[in-house]
Amino acid sequence: MYHYRSSVLVVITIGLSLTTGNRIVPETDEDRTKIVGGHPISIEQVPYQVSVQVKTKSSHRHTCGGAILSADRVLTAAHCIEESRKYAVRAGSNYYGFGGQLVEVLESRVHPEFNNHTLANDIAMLRLERNLFFSNTVTLISLPYAESFSPTSKEVFVSGWGSILYDSSLSYRLQGVSIPLVDHELCSQLYVEFNNITDSMFCAGQVGRGGKDSCQGDSGGPVVQNGYLVGVVSWGYECGEPNYPGVYSKVYAFREWIQSLL
């Protein structure tokens, strides 16, 4: 069993020995889930971070994270977006529930080759109804210019309001954690019975140890290295498991598509 890392728990199983198909479980407070093994951080440390929120009849509900690419463009995960729903983003706050700037989403564009079963091409662009006001708590993050990760840094930084434990409640306060990168071939071997780790995905986690990971509620959020947006939180087997690192969409692989929408 592996799952999306949005705050709506999605269970997907693949393989001859497993049940095929996917099942969406309605969200409860117990299903919502924050960064595993991290610590509270200030939005000033990650001013590009936003909370992607589903509009309800009376309010807004956090469902995923996102990263600001321009005054009116936010990058998130494709599995976070449903055509039938309306969304907003909250920027510039340590909390997903209040503060900062709450701006409605005018249009969402899911990658045309997104596969809901394999989670390939799990990336989407949101166009906001109005421009965000930039400040020390709200600013954009740059796209990477090279496909490879920095050889001098073997970790990435992930932030969000997801769970500190699998299947627990959302963190009301923004969290962050540095996570070691995992060799692509090793990650493919670890997930061989579950899903294919494509060339447009990468993995990060403490293999053999666990304890540091993104989790439900963190989906779509930024994965950063040396000031560049290198990844988007996508999926994984539970959270913080020793032999199942988190899996992320590799932003550079989608650079051309992203730039066409900016």
Alpha carbons 80 and 58: distance in angstroms, whole number: 20
Structure tokens belonging to residue 166: 């699998």
Which entry of 31, 122, 213, 218 is annotated as an active-site residue? 122
Paired residues of 127 in beta bridges: 73, 107
Residue 92, sorted as left (phi over 0), alpha (psi -120 to 50) or beta, turns out to be left
To the query of whether residue 122 is one of the catalytic residues in this protein, the response is yes
Beta bridge pairs of residue 87: 54
Indicate which residue of 159, 219, 234, 249 is catalytic. Answer: 219
Give the pair of three-digit tokens for residue 175.
């969290």
Angle, vertex CA 57, rays to CA 53 and CA 60, nearest 5? 20
Query: Cα 68 vs. chain centroid, distance in angstroms?
Result: 13
Which one of the listed residues 60, 79, 168, 213 is annotated catalytic? 79
Residue with tokens 């992320």: 248
The residue assigned the tokens 């949005």 is 6
Active site residues: 79, 122, 219
